[in-house]
Amino acid sequence: MISKIMKWALAKVPRPLLIRLSYIVQWLSPVLFRGSKFIDPIDGRGYSRFFPYGYGENQRQNALCPGTNSLERHRLLWLYLKDKTDFLTKPQKLLHIAPEQCFYGRFRKMKHLDYTTADLFSPLADLRFDVQNIPLEDNTYDTIFCNHVLEHVDDDRKAIREFQRILKPGGMAIMQVPLDPDYEVTDEDPTIKDPAERERRFRQYDHVRLYGQDYPERLKECGFKVTT
């Protein structure tokens, strides 16, 4: 039942409304889903279950934490930031594109962060702009987060170059994307508009590409030094 509800919600409910509705689930989760079967490292709490998540036939079981709205990639990123970087303590200016709810509230409360969010549609955004044409000055930010956005962008190289432009020298940009390691070369075609064909080819109805092993080279072409 929950799997069907999640599939329906992801396919039919506008993203801004989903974000607002999810806060109700977050508020109730300590009572409804308290347990010890799953632990979310972002909030340190135990849960009796995680929700399924994914579009179409690509739904994954036990993926979404009801208390933080984190997915696997968010929990992995949190552990990386905590264990492998000084992000959680070092004063810095951060631009967060398409801010994830599991991070948004926590980053807002971190006094060492000068935190700005941006998106075209999200109610969590401070700024609204197209990442292919960012209306910000060069060398502005120490850190940029842009996770699972580039697969939606017609000209991702233009967006990547914009991030490189506004990032300070020596800064860090984290740009996660959906990637199939079996693909040597990224499969892309922004001219495809049919949602069913996009889902068949790129695994989600609103994606215009599925990245392959050449993704790091694409970042390097746009001026980044890449660590994977």
Q: Return the CATH number of 85-178+207-221, one of 3.40.50.150, 3.40.50.620, 3.30.70.360, 3.40.920.10.
A: 3.40.50.150
List the Cα angle 58/54/133 in 5-degree steps. Answer: 110
Distance of CA 133 to the CA centre of its chain: 19
For residue 63, give the 3-state DSSP assignment: strand
Retrieve residue 168's tokens. Answer: 């300070």
Encoded amino acid at 145, one letter: F
* pLDDT at residue 9, as a whole number: 54
For residue 87, give the 3-state DSSP assignment: coil
Greatest CA span in the chain, whole angstroms?
50
Taking only the tens of pLDDT, the chain with its 228 residues reads 555 555 455 555 666 666 666 666 666 667 678 888 999 999 999 999 999 988 777 789 999 999 999 999 999 999 999 999 999 999 999 999 999 999 999 999 999 999 999 999 999 999 999 999 999 999 999 999 999 999 999 999 999 999 999 999 999 999 999 999 999 999 999 999 999 999 999 999 999 999 999 999 999 999 999 987
- Global pTM? 0.86
- Rounded to whole angstroms, the Cα distance separating 164 from 168 reads 8
Q: Would you list the domain boundaries of the chain?
A: 2-70, 85-178+207-221
